[in-house]
Structure formats: structure tokens, C-alpha cells
Chain A
Amino acid sequence: MVKTLREMTEQAEGLSSGHSLCAGCAESIIVRQVLHAVGQPVVVACATGCLEIATSRFPTTAWNVPWIHSAFENAASTISGVEAAYRALVRKGRMPEKNIKFVAFGGDGATYDIGLQWLSGALERGHRFIYICLNNEGYMNTGIQRSGATIQGTWTTTTPAGKVVPGKPEWRKDLTAIIAAHHIPYVAQAAAHAWKDLETKVEKAAAVDGPAFINVLSPCTRGWRYDPSKTMEISKLAVETRLWPLFEVENGVWRLTYKSTAPKPVTDWLKSQDRFGHLLRPENEHVVESIQRNVDREWAWLQRQCSLATVTA
């Protein structure tokens, strides 16, 4: 079922080269993988953010597929409108059934924070669309600010590491679990480096009759402060340290799609990016310990979800 790399390279690109995303940005890689897996015909909606800004400066566009940007918070309801229009026009006999797929892309700011209500409403209404969260753990389009996806201790320009406060005080919200609680047909977490895993998940998402959501970790060379050549390494490290587990929730059944035999400590992840530089100082050891505890707690919770699902499935 999953397309091979060769098949992918032979497909037309939905997102063309020539956009202005940063060197080393994972977003264009993820978007191209997603569009390859979804196939055509497709209509794409984008929230305001890096991807939107870097691909749509008038009078140019990097999109070879129908594409709409409305505002920061409302990609989910905008694509709901497109999907509703399609349903209405087919029902009224004004256009033929074309099996068009609908995809919305939003950054973590547009998804975890400002757009959560719009996404929740669209999921509850059951529109047939795939929502992809391009999660680079912060507001990276307007600088490097904290979001609900930013983990504790992270340096950002709105949670600077100062003399009194060592970076962001709070942990992150578990958005994927919040979305899973909507009991939609398909929910998953994925990462840029694991292309086959991502592609499989997108194909499953595209096949369901209803909403689907995939939260994809998208390393950001500017915001995370690492060398642009290291994007895939960093992405892999997030999974190996269990900071970003890969899993899916298919019709309510939770399942890990990757399990490392030798998990790495979160310090490996923290050392790989300058945004965590201050955490490696002795006085911030307690923050690192707290991060490890949060990662372990979430991992244990995820394990329980997966084992429960196996029992009840």
C-alpha cells in the first residue's frame, strides 16, 4: 500500500521548490511527504505561519494544488467550508464526485493555542479532512516565542532564560491525546525523519470517512539553534529520547509504531540544541530532572493506553 521512494519521486509535487522556507526546515519535507501520500485531487488550507508566509508571497505561489489561507486560527473551519461546499455541490449535481481529499496545515501555535477551538469544532462535526500539525515547538514565524507545545526549560524570546526564571516554566499540553479524546477515526504522532511511518499514517488518514489528525514534529533550525544539516538527526533523537513517541490511535485503538530498544536520556536531546544551553549549567539540574520525569510519565501513560487498547480491542 505504501508508496516506494521511487514512486514518490516520480509524482508531481504539490509544493514546488522556490519557496522561501529556511535551509534545514523540516516543514517543506513533511508537506511534500504528506501530499505524496494523499495524492491528487487535493485541496489544501493553511493557517498563518512559516509555511503559509514562505510559500505564498503575491504574485508568486509555491502551490501546484488548490490552496487557501484565511487567518491564523481557522484553518480547520476554512477547510470545513471547502469540504461542505464539495458535499453540497455534488449532492446538488453541480459537480461530479471526484474523491477530492482535504488537508489543513497549521503550526503548533495555530493548533495547540489559538486554533484549538476551531479544530475541535471541525472534528466534532465530522468533516472529512486531514489536519496536519507542523509542530516546531514554538511560534517561529514571528520570532521564537513560546507556545503550548514548548517544553519546560526551553529558551524562547517570551520565555527567556534569565537570572531568576530558567526558560519556560511549564511543561507542554498533550495535544495528540486531547484530539484523540474527540474519538475521531484516526489520530497519530509522527516525525519528519521517519518518512515511511509518516506516509503510512497519512495514507490511513486519507482512507477514513471523517476527520483525521497527525501531529508531526518539525525541527526548526532557527528556533532550536542547531546546524541546518542536522534536521533529520535531531528529529530522530526526539524519538530515541522518548520526548516524541511515534504512535497512532486508529478507531480508538492506541498503538506504538516505533519502540526503541535502547532509549536515550533527555540530556542527549538537550545537548543537541542551543535553545537548551542554559539547562546544562549545574544550577538548572532540577529543570533537566523535571523534563526527564515528564517524559517518563508521558511514556508510562502512553504504554498504559496502548496495553489497554490491546485488551479491549
Chain B
Amino acid sequence: MTLKASERRRARSATGRAVAINGATLVAHAMRQIHPDVVACYPITPQTIITETFSEFVANGLVQTEFVAVESEHAAMSVCIGSAAAGARTQTATSGPGLALMWELLWVASGSRLPIVMHLCTRALSAPLNILCDHSDVMGARDTGWPILFSEDGQEAYDNAIQAVRVAEHPDVLLPVISTQDGFTITHGIERAEILDDASVRSFVGEYSPHRPLLDVEHPTTYGAWDYHDFYFEHKRQQADAMEKALGVIEAVGQEFGKLSGRSYGLVQPYRLDDAEFAVVVLGSAAGTLRSVVDDLRSRGVKAGMLRVRVLRPFPTKAVAEALAGVKVAAVLDRALAFGAPGGPLFEDVCVALTTNGVGPRLVNYVYGLGGRDTLPAQFLQAFEDIRRIAKGASAQPVVRYLGLRES
């Protein structure tokens, strides 16, 4: 489902002001304003809006980007790798199975230190076939060496898309970056958002100065050499170092973006956590609903709070531990299953963050919203009630629980 023609016209003419628009179109606008040299995409629900809208920008001459309409996502990432190595500012967009098909090459891109930006519209993975939102796709890409930014809404998806370019291309980082938005909830949900003016975005991302490009034919460079055991380990360590440095860069870019837009971003976003006894930890669009649940509980005198994790990789261990240090019991919400693991992916990260920093709120894990299942305020409220009971001595078993699931 794409926007009606009238909505598209309105979106196209909207710059530097507030508009009603969906997240995917917003990201297409960010791409238009960033004006990458090469974009290679394959349409897939719910990302298709991005590919279609950007194709229109190309067709109408609004960008001089080379748009490569490939035959698969694997080819999209292959084209991106060639293009980025050649020295071009390069982007792609995908969802769920498309990201899964790219998986092998996500490692090639990060291992080759190519600052590609990917706009990911999160989606469940088969089987059973499901086109709706969950975070199974992004969790599959979690350890491939790409910094990963999560957006709460369309505005942040737009803002993150712009910041991602600066993070990826920072000389201390030089890593490809994934900027996510939740499928359908954000990609297709129409909301109020502000589009910056083109010149501001252009100047914020700046001119791209590639590192050792292939097209510098006078200075031939070999990309993608193979390593034996004598060098592979050191190269992987260099990647780990770059990832560590990305944490500071993401924070600095988030602050600088605040000066441009009035919207600053950090690694995590605490909400009413200062004196909270009970908290939930979450990624992505569910934070909006949770905020209202926290407000509701606060109005009833319950010391509830929320921690939204904006940066999944590199995981902001210290920031998470600091934010949760005073909490008695916390519920970590995962929109993905890690079959056979002690808990969901975010749960495990939070556990490690707390343990290694010596702070210890009791933790339980809630899996919610798989395959696009709606999660209602009442269900999140249930999670809060559970953790309050645990604080009073109820068992924290089972550690992994499900929200909004029919068990019988």
C-alpha cells in the first residue's frame, strides 16, 4: 500500500515544515536530501514505499543518484559494496527476508569498512510467512559489525537516517550503519513530522571524502584480500575497536543534530526513571504506548519508569546500567525470540550490562508483538503488575514470559 497521489504531492513539496506523513516516505525524503551517489534496492513489504518513492525522485530529476534496481537484496548489498569501495556515498533499504538474504554480505561490508547506510523496516521472518513487524530480522544482523539505531517514530526514523551517514563515515568508525523503523507501525503510520530544509541536511551530512577509493586508478587499492590465521584475528579486533568508538560518535552526532533540529539524541532515552522502582526496557515504536502506561501508573502513585534503548549496537552497556541502577525490578521487552537462549536478545544484553557494572535490579523478560501482534496498554500494565509482585516476593520464574499470547 502506498500513498495516494495527493498525499505524495503534499509530501514532495514539504520541506522545512511540519507535515502529516508516514515513516517510510519520510526516510525517502531523508535520502533525497542526503543525495547519495548510489542507491541499490529491491522492493519488499513493508520497505517498498522507500524504493518506490526514491525511484520517483530519480525519475523526476530531483536527485542525480545512480539508482540500481537490482534483482535481489543479495545483489543490492553486492552493488552497495562495489559502489562504496569505488568511493561513492551509498545506501540501501530492506526488510525481514531481504535482510536475511543479505546476511553473508553484511559481514563483507563491515569487514571491508565500507560506510554504507541501510534503512531497515523491521519485519518477521518465515516460516510461517508473515509480512508484519517484529525484530527477528534485525536481531539476525545484530552481530554482523554494523552499528544499529532504533527509531521510536517516523520523526526519529528521518532524523536517524540523516545521522547514520555521519556515524558511518566518521574516520574513527568507517562502518556500515543500519537505521531501523518498525514495519507498518512506523513505515505506514501517518503522523506529524518535521522535514528539515534541503540545504540544512546537505550541509549536516557534508561532502563525502572516501578512504582509498577503487576509482582512484592512479593509486590502485586491493579490497577484499583474504587473511590466514596470521592476520584475521587482528582485523576483527580493529573492527571491534571501531565499534567501540562508534558509541561516542553516535552520541556526539546526536547532540550536533540537536543544534540543527532542536531534537537531540543520546544512546538511551530514560523516561521517569530518576526515582523509579519498576521499569521496562524497550526498543522501537512500543515506547510510545509504554510512555502512556508509565504516566498512568505514576498518576496512581506507582514509581514506574521506562528505558528506551536507541542504540542496539554498539550496546550502550554503561548508560543502560546507570539508568537502571536504582530500579528494584525491571521487565525487558523483546520483539523477537531467541530459540533455546536464556532469554530474548535485548534481555541478554541488559543482563550483561547490569552484571558487568555491578548493579542488580531483578530482571524478567517479556516477548511481545511477534508477527505484528498488537500490544495494548493493558498488556504492558500486566507486565508492570507482575514485576511489582516480584518486588514483593513473588517468584521471578519463568524468566521468559509472553504478552498478548493465546496459550490454550
Contact = CB atoms under 8 A, between A and B. Distances in A.
* Chains A and B bind each other: yes
Interface of A: 40-43, 45-46, 52-53, 56-61, 63-71, 73-74, 77-89, 91-92, 94-95, 98, 100, 117-118, 120-122, 124-125
A40 B219 CA distance: 13
A85 B37 contact: yes
Contacts of B280: none
Contacts of A82: 82-83, 85-86, 214-215
Contact of B86 (A43, A69, A124): A43
B197 interface: no
A58 B231 contact: yes
Contacts, number: 170
Contacts of B228: 57-58
Contact of B224 (A69, A81, A83, A94): A69
A43 B214 contact: yes
A66 B40 contact: no
Nearest to B208: A94
B341 interface: no
Contacts of B226: 52-53, 56-58, 69
Given A56-B224, A58-B225, A69-B225, A81 B105 contact: no
Given A58-B227, A69-B226, A70-B82, 5 more contacts: A58-B231, A84-B83, A88-B66, A92-B64, A118-B74
Interface class of chain A by DSSP: mixed
B321 to A, nearest CB: 38
A71 B86 contact: no
B116 to A, nearest CB: 10
A45 B221 CA distance: 12
Interface class of chain B by DSSP: mixed
A96 to B, nearest CB: 11
A78 B38 contact: no
24 contacts: A45-B82, A56-B224, A58-B231, A63-B220, A65-B220, A68-B214, A69-B226, A70-B81, A71-B108, A74-B75, A78-B79, A79-B82, A81-B40, A81-B68, A81-B82, A81-B85, A82-B215, A85-B66, A88-B37, A89-B88, A89-B215, A94-B37, A121-B71, A125-B69
A77 B86 CA distance: 13
B222 A63 contact: yes
A19 to B, nearest CB: 12
Contact of B221 (A66, A87, A122, A124): A66
Given A53-B226, A85-B83, A86-B86, A98 B64 contact: no
Interface in B78-95: 78-88, 90
B225 A81 contact: no
B129 interface: no
